[in-house]
A = this chain, B = another copy of it.
Amino acid sequence: MTDTPPDRPSASAVERLLADLKALLGPRTATSQAVREHHSRGEGLPDAVLPDIVVFPETNEEVAAVARLCNDARIPLVPFGAGSSLEGHVVPLHGGVSVDLTGMDRILEINPGSLDCRVQAGVTREQLNREIRSAGLFFPIDPGANASIGGMTATRASGTNAVRYGTMRENVLGLTVVTPDGRILRTGGRARKSAAGYDLTRLYVGSEGTLGIVTEIQLRLNGLPEAVAASVCQFPDLTSAVDTVVAAMQMNIPLARIELLDDMQMRACIRHSKLEGYGETPTLFLEFHGSPAAVAEQMDMMRAICDEHGGSAYIHATRPEDRTRLWKARHDVYFACLGLAPGKSCMSTDACVPISELANCIRETRADIDQTGLIAPIVGHVGDGNFHLTILFDPQDPDERGRADALAKRVSLRAIRMGGTCTGEHGIGLHKLDALEAEHGPSVELMRTLKRSFDPNNIMNPGKMIRLS
Given the known interface contacts A195-B425, A197-B466, A424-B195, the answer about A354 and B443 at a Cβ–Cβ threshold of 8 Å is no
Q: How many residues of A contact B (CB 8 A)?
A: 94
| Chain B proximity of A68: nearest CB distance (Å) | 15
In the complex, whether A444 has a CB less than 8 A from a CB of chain B is yes
Identify A197's interface contact among B186, B187, B385, B436, CB under 8 A: B436
Contact A439 B189 (CB under 8 A): yes
> With A114-B354, A186-B443, A194-B424 as given contacts, are A199 and B251 in contact (CB-CB < 8 Å)?
no
A440 and B199 contact, CB distance less than 8 A: no
The contact of A200 among B114, B353, B443, by CB within 8 Å, is B443
Residues of B within 8 A of A190 (CB): 353-354, 419-420
- Whether the Cβ atoms of A449 and B439 lie closer than 8 Å is no
Q: How far is the CB of A278 from the nearest CB of chain B, in Å? A: 29
Complex Cα–Cα for A156 and B198 (A): 10
Task: Give chain B residues whose Cβ lies under 8 Å from the Cβ of A112.
Answer: 250
Q: Which of A51-59, A161-169, A371-379 contacts B (4 or more CB under 8 A)?
A: A161-169
Q: Which residue of B lies closest to A112 (CB)?
A: B250
Is A344 interfacial (CB 8 A cutoff)?
A: no
Q: Which B residues are in CB contact (< 8 Å) with A440?
A: 186-187, 196-197
Instruction: Please state if A199 and B202 are interface contacts (CB–CB under 8 Å).
Output: yes
Contacts of A206 in B (CB 8 A): 195, 197-199
Q: Kindly identify, within residues 157 to 184 of chain A, every residue whose CB is under 8 Å from any CB belonging to chain B.
A: 157-158, 162, 166-167, 169-170, 179, 183
A111 CB-CB contact with B under 8 Å: yes
Q: Which residue of B lies closest to A163 (CB)?
A: B192
- Contacts A198-B207, A206-B198, A252-B225 given; does A162 touch B352 at CB 8 Å: no
Q: A156-B195, A202-B203, A205-B199 are in contact. Are A441 and B186 (CB under 8 A)?
A: yes
Q: Does A442 contact B (CB under 8 A)?
A: yes
Q: Say yes or no: is A355 at the interface (Cβ < 8 Å to chain B).
A: yes
* Chain B residues within an 8 Å CB radius of A435: 196
Q: In the complex, how many angstroms separate the beta carbon of A423 from the nearest chain B beta carbon?
A: 5
- Chain B residues near A294: list those with CB within 8 A: 294, 297
A293 touching B291, Cβ below 8 Å: no
Interface string of A435-465 (1 = CB under 8 A from B): 1100111111111011111100000000001
* In the complex, A151 has a CB within 8 A of chain B: no
Structural contact, B465 and A197, CB atoms closer than 8 A? yes
Min Cβ gap A181→B in Å is 11
The reply to whether A200 and B446 contact each other, CB–CB distance below 8 Å, is: yes
Is A431 an interface position by the 8 A CB rule? no
Which of these, B197, B356, B439, contacts A113 with CB under 8 Å? B356
Shortest beta-carbon distance from A211 to chain B in Å:
8
Q: Are B193 and A113 in contact (CB under 8 A)?
A: no
A residues 315-354 near B (Cβ < 8 Å) are 352-354
The minimal Cβ–Cβ distance linking A99 to chain B, given in whole angstroms, is: 20
With a cutoff of 8 Å between Cβ atoms, the chain B residues found around residue A352 in the complex are: 191-194
Inter-chain contact A355/B115, CB cutoff 8 Å: yes
Q: Counting CB contacts under 8 A, is A299 at the interface?
A: no
Set of chain B residues within 8 Å of A465, measured between Cβ atoms: 197
Tell me if A155 is interfacial: C-beta within 8 Å of chain B.
yes
Which residues, 247 to 291 on A, are CB-close (under 8 Å) to B? Answer: 249-252, 254, 290-291
Chain A, residues 108-150, CB within 8 Å of chain B (1/0): the string is 0001111110000000000000000000000000000000000
Q: Which of B191, B203, B250, B449 contacts A424 (CB 8 A)?
A: B191
Residues of chain B lying within 8 A (CB to CB) of residue A386:
191-193
A420-B223 in contact (CB<8A)? no
Q: List 23 A-B contacts (CB under 8 A).
A: A113-B354, A114-B354, A115-B355, A158-B195, A179-B446, A185-B446, A186-B441, A186-B443, A191-B352, A191-B384, A191-B415, A191-B420, A191-B424, A192-B354, A194-B421, A196-B428, A196-B436, A197-B444, A198-B207, A199-B205, A200-B443, A291-B297, A446-B454
Q: What 6 pairs between A and B have smallest CB-CB spacing?
A: A113-B356, A202-B202, A114-B354, A453-B453, A194-B421, A114-B356
**Which A residues are within 8 Å of any B CB, using their own CB?**
111-116, 155-158, 162, 166-167, 169-170, 179, 183, 185-187, 189-200, 202-203, 205-207, 211, 222-223, 225-226, 246, 249-252, 254, 290-291, 293-294, 297, 301, 352-357, 384-386, 415, 419-428, 432, 435-436, 439-447, 449-454, 465-466
